Amino acid sequence: MSFLQDLLSSQIVQLVVVGAALLGALSGILGSFAVLRQQSLLGDTLSHAALPGVCIGYLIAGERQLSLLLPAALVTGALAALTVMLITHRTRLKTDAALGIALSVFFAIGTVLLTLIQAQGNVSSAGLSSFLFGQAAAITKGDISVMVGTGALLLSVVILFWKEFKLVSFDPASAQALGLPVLALEGALTIIVAVAVVLGLQLVGVILMVALLIAPAAAARQWTQSLSSMVVLAGVIGAIAGAGGALVSATGRGLATGPVVVLIVTGVVVVSLLIAPKRGVLWQALARRQLTKKLPMVSLRYDAKRRKFPIRGVRRG
C-alpha cells in the first residue's frame, strides 16, 4: 500500500493515470457505436490516417507543437473518413474494402512524410516517431484540460442525439424511412470517433489506438443486452484498463504505457469471451451440455421395405 502511495505521489504518474483513465473511458463509450455499426476497422483507419496530419502540421509549424499537430491530424482523419463514405456510396465496394484502402493509402503517405522529415536531420523532428506508439510521459496538465473539455463536448453531443445515434447504429434502414438524415448522423459519429482518436495519439499512438477504441466495447458487449448499459460498462472498462496500464508501466523501467494498457484491456476481452453469461464460450458449452442431457436418445434402424429410418426415442434415466 505504501508503494502505491509513493508511486502516486509523483506528479508525472498522476497525470499519466488521469489521462489514461479519461482516454480509456471516452474511447470505450464512443467505440461502442463503431462496434455496433460493424465498423471496428474504422478506428484503425482514422488512427493511421492521422499520421500524415501530424507530419503536415510539423512541416507547417517547423517544430513539434501539439496545438497545430493535433488539429492537422484531425483534418486528415476526417478526410480519410470522407474518403471511405464516398467509396461506399459511389462504388460497389463494401465498407471493409473502403476502410482498408483508406488505411493503407493514408498510412503510406504518413510514413513517406515521416521518413522525409527525419532524413532532414532536424533535432525537433525526433519526437514525431513517438506518435506511432505514444509517449505517455510527455503528457501535461494542458493536455488533461483539453481531454476533459473535448470529452465533455463529445459526450454532450452523444447525449443530445442519443435516440438518433441509437437508431442509426442498430437499423439505418428504419432511420432513413423515418426521414432522419442517416448520412449526416453517420458522418457525425465518424467525426466524433476521429476526435477521440486524435486525443489518444500522444498517449497510446497511431498503431495501438484502435485497440483502446474497440476492445472495451467488445468486452462490454458480452455482458449486456442494452446500448445504454454497454456504453456505460465500456467506459468503465476503458477507464480501469487505462489507469491500470499507467500504474503498471510506472512500476517498471522501459514499460511503455500504451502497450500495457492494450494488453490489460485485451485480457478483459478474453475473459469476457470465455465466461460472460449467455454469450461466453464456456457458458454456451455448459448450456449445450445440459440441453444434451435433457434430449431423448435416438435409435435409427434402416427399414429396407419402407426405405427410411424409423425414429425410436428412448428417454434417458
- Judge whether 316 lies within some domain: no
Q: Is the pLDDT of residue 234 over 60?
A: yes
- Judge whether 226 lies within some domain: yes
Select from 215, 216, 210 the least CA-distant residue to 231. 216
| Residue 36 domain boundaries | 2-296
The pTM of the whole model exceeds 0.85: no
> CB of 25 within 8 A of CB of 235?
yes
| pLDDT (average), residues 162-183 | 88
- Judge whether 95 lies within some domain: yes
From the CB of residue 133, how many other CB atoms can be counted at a distance below 10 Å? Answer: 15
From the CB of residue 247, how many other CB atoms can be counted at a distance below 10 Å? Answer: 18
Average pLDDT, the chain: 83
- Judge whether 151 lies within some domain: yes
Q: Give pLDDT tens digits for 72-111.
A: 888 998 889 888 888 888 888 888 888 889 989 999 998 8
- Judge whether 308 lies within some domain: no
Is 272 exposed, middle or buried, given 0-12, 13-18 or 19+ CB atoms closer than 10 A? buried
Select from 135, 119, 137 the least CA-distant residue to 127. 135
CATH code assigned at 36: 1.10.3470.10
Looking at residue 28, what is its pLDDT? 93
- Judge whether 307 lies within some domain: no
As a whole number of angstroms, the distance between CA 218 and CA 28 comes to 9
- Judge whether 309 lies within some domain: no
Name the domain count of the chain: 1
As a whole number of angstroms, the distance between CA 179 and CA 175 comes to 7
> CB of 50 within 8 A of CB of 151?
no
Q: Which residue has the cell 465498423?
A: 39
- Judge whether 313 lies within some domain: no
Q: Give pLDDT tens digits for 26-51.
A: 999 999 998 888 777 787 888 889 88
Q: Give pLDDT tens digits for 109-135.
A: 988 988 888 787 665 555 666 777 777
**Least confident span in 79-93, 210-224, 298-312:** 298-312
